[in-house]
Amino acid sequence: MHLIIAEKHDAAKRIAQILAKTKPQTQRVAGVDAFRFDDKVVMGLSGHIVGVDYPADYNNWQKVDCKELIRAEIVVRPLQEKIIAALKTLGKEADQITIATDYDREGELIGVEALKIAKEANPRLLADRVRYSAIVKDEIINAFQNAGKVDFDLAASGEARQIIDLVWGAALTRYISLTSGKLGKEFLSVGRVQSPTLALIVDREREIQAFVPQAYWEIFADLEKELRVQHAEGRIWEKEKADKIIANLGPEGIIRSIETKPRIDKPPAPFDTTSFISAASGIGFSAANSMRIAEWLYTNGFISYPRTDNTVYPPSIDLRALTTLFTKGAFAEEAKKLLQGKMVPTRGKRSTTDHPPIYPTVPVEKSDLKDDQWKIYELVVRRFFATLAEQCVWDATSIKVDIGPEPFRASGARLIEAGWRYYYPYSKAEEHILPELKKGERLKVLGHVVEAKETQPPARFGQGKLIKIMDDLGLGTKSTRHDIISKLYARAYVQGNPMRPTNTAYAVVDTLQKYAPTITKPEMTQTLEQDMNRISERQIKEDEVIEESRVMLTSVFDELTQNQEGIGQSLKDGLRTDKIVGTCEKCGSELIIRRGHRGSRFIGCSGYPNCRFTLPLPRSGAVIVTEKMCEMHGMNHIRIINKGKRPWDLGCPHCNFLEWQARKAQMKDEPKKPQAKEAVKATAKANKAKPRAKAAGKSKGASLGDVPGIGPKTLEKLTAAGIKTAQDLARAKADLLAEKTGISSKKILAWQSAAKA
């Protein structure tokens, strides 16, 4: 029997369907689905089925010296017991095994992990490797006809990354968390790539805060023929000079020169992972979400492999034939127009041989995909078309006008050939048409405007921009950068997009930059990334790179241990500010987020025990104190972040508590239908807070305020989304409403149940 191993279940199913002459049969092996046809069985993994870890003796943070972790034994632990059992069962039956996981460092390691397990069950297995960049018929068949050898060196570079990241992350995270007293679910994570990335965000925020705006003035004049011109000096830095220019202006302007020449916008380069994430960010997708959707599209055969550094199409792709596939369907008009041109592809700066740039593999109807999947798919299709299109050509006109002794200017642009912009509307450029003018023409001055402005601080990093900077600095890889950013959000180091660091981020970065600056700079991780690449190129051994990383980490710990007292105090001082919510209305002391003996969290007065004012908080999730302030109670609004879920904006904790109390009192006085009770329970579970209830509206046009669990703030969100009555709520699609409002679909379903009661 010939056993074929794919990286995921869906990929295995598609590969089996492509290779089989008839429909493959689904076979259940140790609780895992495999696909059998002829003498072949295709089985999908679930990413890594084993992982590196420390022995159980090292699990106790307080009893194990953090520095011991640097050279502690590393063991391999099973992560997917059922898949491992299925591999062993099928491995015993097989005489040949083909690794068909994704072709990159991580995919090679996943394949080698599976191969080792299968060979434990059957050492006589013959192994080979297929490599492909799209799960489509021609490419899969070609890959299996040209199978090669497993690349153990590439897998070794992936394993080196796993071990290095484990050692650095575990040792530093434990040290910083123990030193600061932040343990349990609120530990402070530190990482080889994560920390220099966080430092970039914090340093940018410091630039913004330290920025001193400088005043300047811009002068505009309005002339006949609806012509607005600006003073040629642009920004004028002295008010007196601006006043002098205004005093010099005469009653008419004279056209001194008119110059028109073509301006060319070159088509964009093909998508690599970094430019794809950046473009997806521009249409509202987070880095992690855009990659998740792209991977789904790839696995289902709609686009090529989305993890690539390549920006040059290889000759093996028949670009004209591929475009011809799109002459039917949603992009038929664009494809037909494109085929009439020269179709010379653009070339980016990077050319690699592992995978091509990201491109669409087959046409898909919009109705076959969810809205977010279609948006990403359409982005890939339109970028592909744009890279094959002609240049965009403009007529750019500049004019010079004298008003008295003062020089003014204006510029305009007329689109002559849309070129690639016809296919790619995401990169906007608007026409600005100037009126018909002649040199020497005199135009009456209708008025003037002096605009007082200030220079602006540098912008915060959006996710797309940060990914680009990480790429430029060699921080992480195309496969890991979006995960690093997700971790920064999950650990409550940053919030919003563009990203703003929390006080916790400041505390960690400030402390590390002061006492162990190596951790926050990109040079160290750059060196290790380069060495891991050298492993795959057979220039250095895996053990040598791991040892090099341990030596680096030892020197970092020497810095840390010499300054442990200062580090602890610095972290505690910085972290305390992230817990302050406001001022106690009873005694004027600070209100601080605290945790009780049994794990509960609350806001308590720092004047305790003299003042016992408290407010409850949800038990789970990272608590973020936002900048938004409640005018009534003088308290900062709270946001709760749970991994894998939408952030929950709790709002002012005091307002939230009073609202809950009012609803609780009303519950005692009003009868509740069973359905309403269940809805209240569901809402409470979703909120992870105390239940709020109100009798459901009985009439079809009942007010939203009568639905259990809907308070004033939620009412505003629903009304803005077009939900005005309980009947509107009951009829709405929960998932779509969740997207519009940011409210979890679970809550909405609970409210809908109550609204129908």
Instruction: Assess if residue 616 is contained within a domain.
Output: yes
In the three-class reduction of DSSP (H, G, I as helix; E, B as strand; rest coil), residue 433 is classed as coil
Instruction: Assess if residue 486 is contained within a domain.
Output: yes
- When comparing pLDDT for 680 and 117, which is higher? 117
| Lowest-pLDDT range of 249-258, 436-445, 685-694 | 685-694
Question: For the segment 524-557, what is each residue's pLDDT rounded down to a tens digit?
Answer: 888 998 999 999 999 999 999 999 999 999 999 9
Give the model's pLDDT for residue 162. Answer: 94
In the three-class reduction of DSSP (H, G, I as helix; E, B as strand; rest coil), residue 510 is classed as helix
Question: For the segment 699-745, what is each residue's pLDDT rounded down to a tens digit?
Answer: 345 677 677 667 766 777 787 777 878 887 877 877 678 767 777 76
Question: For the segment 79-120, what is each residue's pLDDT rounded down to a tens digit?
Answer: 999 999 999 999 999 999 999 999 999 999 999 999 999 999
Same domain as 675, residue 636: no
Question: For the segment 638-676, what is each residue's pLDDT rounded down to a tens digit?
Answer: 888 777 677 788 888 888 888 888 777 776 665 554 544
Separation of alpha carbons 496 and 624, rounded Å: 11
CB proximity list for 335: less than 8 A, separation 6 or greater: 323, 324, 325, 326, 327, 385
Q: Is the pLDDT of residue 747 over 80?
A: no
Question: For the segment 564-582, what is each residue's pLDDT rounded down to a tens digit?
Answer: 888 888 888 777 777 788 8
Geometric angle at alpha carbon 76, from 72 and 77, rounded to 5°? 120
User: pLDDT > 90: what percent of the chain?
Assistant: 64
Same domain as 351, residue 244: no
Position of tokens 């409640």? 630
Look up the domain containing 700 and give its range: 670-756
Question: For the segment 329-376, what is each residue's pLDDT rounded down to a tens digit?
Answer: 999 999 999 999 999 999 998 887 789 999 999 999 999 999 999 999
Burial class (CB in 10 A: 0-12, 13-18, 19+), 158: buried
Chain centroid to CA 115: 33
Give the model's pLDDT for residue 283. Answer: 93
Q: Is the pLDDT of residue 270 over 80?
A: yes
- Clarify whether 305 is annotated catalytic: yes
Give the model's pLDDT for residue 677. Answer: 46
Tokens of residue 15, six digits: 């590969």
**CA separation (Å) from 563 to 97, 560, 570?**
54, 5, 11
Question: For the segment 595-639, what is each residue's pLDDT rounded down to a tens digit?
Answer: 777 667 899 888 888 888 898 888 777 788 887 888 888 888 888
Give the model's pLDDT for residue 264. Answer: 95
Give the model's pLDDT for residue 55. Answer: 94
Same domain as 396, residue 260: yes
How many Å is the maximal CA-CA distance in the chain?
96
Same domain as 442, residue 297: no
Give the model's pLDDT for residue 668. Answer: 65
Give the model's pLDDT for residue 70. Answer: 95
Same domain as 405, residue 258: yes
The last residue of a domain, from among 349, 365, 387: 387
Contact 540/534 with Cβ under 8 angstroms? yes
Q: Which of 54, 103, 175, 305 is catalytic?
A: 305
Instruction: Assess if residue 62 is contained within a domain.
Output: no
Give the model's pLDDT for residue 687. Answer: 45
Separation of alpha carbons 136 and 14, rounded Å: 8
Q: How many CB atoms lie within 10 A of CB 105?
A: 27
Contact 516/560 with Cβ under 8 angstroms? yes
Mean pLDDT for the stretch of residues 510-522: 90
Same domain as 126, residue 26: yes
Same domain as 427, residue 381: no
Q: Is the pLDDT of residue 501 over 80?
A: yes
Q: 494-495 and 590-595: which strand pairing?
A: unpaired
User: Under the phi-then-psi rule, with left for phi > 0, alpha for psi from -120 to 50, and beta for the rest, what region is 514?
Assistant: alpha
Separation of alpha carbons 87 and 43, rounded Å: 8
Phi and psi torsions of 189, nearest 5°? -90, 140
Instruction: Assess if residue 693 is contained within a domain.
Output: yes
The last residue of a domain, from among 424, 454, 484: 454
Mean pLDDT (the chain, rounded): 88
User: pLDDT > 70: what percent of the chain?
Assistant: 92
Give the model's pLDDT for residue 548. Answer: 94
Same domain as 619, residue 748: no
Instruction: Assess if residue 750 is contained within a domain.
Output: yes
Burial class (CB in 10 A: 0-12, 13-18, 19+), 688: middle
CA quadruple 432, 435, 441, 442: dihedral positive or negative?
A: negative
Q: Is the pLDDT of residue 684 over 60?
A: no
Chain centroid to CA 416: 37
Instruction: Provide the CATH number for the domain around residue 231.
Output: 2.70.20.10
Same domain as 219, residue 205: no
Same domain as 486, residue 439: no
Q: Is the pLDDT of residue 135 over 70?
A: yes
Burial class (CB in 10 A: 0-12, 13-18, 19+), 452: exposed
How many domains, in total, are found in the chain? 6
Instruction: Provide the CATH number for the domain around residue 521.
Output: 1.10.460.10
Same domain as 679, residue 593: no
Instruction: Assess if residue 66 is contained within a domain.
Output: no
The last residue of a domain, from among 99, 127, 150: 150
Q: Is the pLDDT of residue 688 over 60?
A: no
Instruction: Assess if residue 53 is contained within a domain.
Output: no
Residue type at position 410: A
* pLDDT band at 392; cut points 50, 70, 90: very high
In the three-class reduction of DSSP (H, G, I as helix; E, B as strand; rest coil), residue 133 is classed as coil
* pLDDT band at 696; cut points 50, 70, 90: very low
To the nearest 10 degrees (0 to 180), the angle between helices 371-387 and 273-282 is 120
| Lowest-pLDDT range of 194-208, 269-283, 620-634 | 620-634
- H or E element that contains 54: none
Instruction: Assess if residue 59 is contained within a domain.
Output: no
Same domain as 519, residue 491: yes
